[in-house]
Structure 1
Amino acid sequence: MFAGAVRVGTIDRVGIALSGLCVVHCLTSAIMLAVLASAGGILVDHRIHAIGLVLAIVLGMVALGRGIVEHGFMMPAAIGGLGLGVMAGALTLPHDSGEVVYTIVGVAILALGHDLNRRAVV
């Protein structure tokens, strides 16, 4: 179904790149919040995190779901789903260093799922 839509591994590479951008966003937000409280307040807006999570879920469903169809391995999707769950759980935490840590851990787990998915495609 997805085989002809996108070159093999491209969606996973985009997912990995977006995971990296998320880490940069989290670290930048934390630093800006500490240094420039007024400017940092815009970046830690809950809506930005919610929209980012929705994008991660959609991209994860497409890329990791395509992987299951193409190579039949559930492990990348399971690991990616765990990462998405950690990221979603981080949204329930107060805006402090704990949220940043949980989000970065979730993003790293999700990126691992995308990488495993990319490598599993033969």
Structure 2
Amino acid sequence: MNQTHASTHTWDRLAIGLSGLCLVHCVATTIFLAAMSAFGGLLGSHWVHEVGLTLAMTLGAFALGRGMLDHGFMMPSAVGGLGLGVMAGSLTLPHDGTEAAATMLGVLILALGHDLNRRGTSHPFGRR
């Protein structure tokens, strides 16, 4: 095989690879957009938010309560409870973007409560 033939072979392989990536991109984009349009109505349903809030409240009560028993600090549970309250209150807001903003704020406050809970277990004054 001469030098020119090897160079052409390399360029052809790169072009075939790029064509394959293009095909994967087109198929994946089509599948993704079809799935989004199919599940878009489902994800926006009110019951999905209620189920998600129920799961968050159950997990939050367990994790924050368990942390309070482990390290003895109430602050993480209070902050987490505030976050859950903001999330629950957001269900009463109109769907003009305020519900989403309030939910995100509640989620951030809840995450802060969980982070404080995690840090409480390593605090030197916490229970062992």
Number of positions where the alignment pairs a residue of Structure 1 with one of Structure 2: 88
For residue 39 of structure 1, report the CA deviation from its aligned partner. Answer: 5.1
Select the structure of larger CA radius of gyration.
2
Q: Which runs of 4+ in 1 moved over 4 A?
A: none
Q: Find the counterpart in structure 1 of residue 96 from structure 2.
A: 96
Residues 79, 109 of structure 1: 8 Å contact kept: yes
The CA RMSD over aligned residues, in Å, is: 1.9
Query: Structure 1: which 5+ residue stretches go unaligned?
Result: 1-35
1:42-101 deviation per Cα after TM superposition (whole angstroms, max 9, x unaligned): 211011000000000000111000011010000000000000000000011122210000
Could you tell me which amino acid in structure 2 is paired with residue 118 of structure 1?
R
Q: Find the counterpart in structure 1 of residue 121 from structure 2.
A: 121
Q: Find the counterpart in structure 2 of residue 85 from structure 1.
A: 85
Residues 84, 107 of structure 1: 8 Å contact kept: yes
SS in 1 for 2:94: coil
Percent identity over paired residues:
63
Residues 44, 95 of structure 1: 8 Å contact kept: no
Query: Structure 2: which 5+ residue stretches go unaligned?
Result: 1-36, 123-128
TM-score for both structures, normalised by structure 1: 0.67
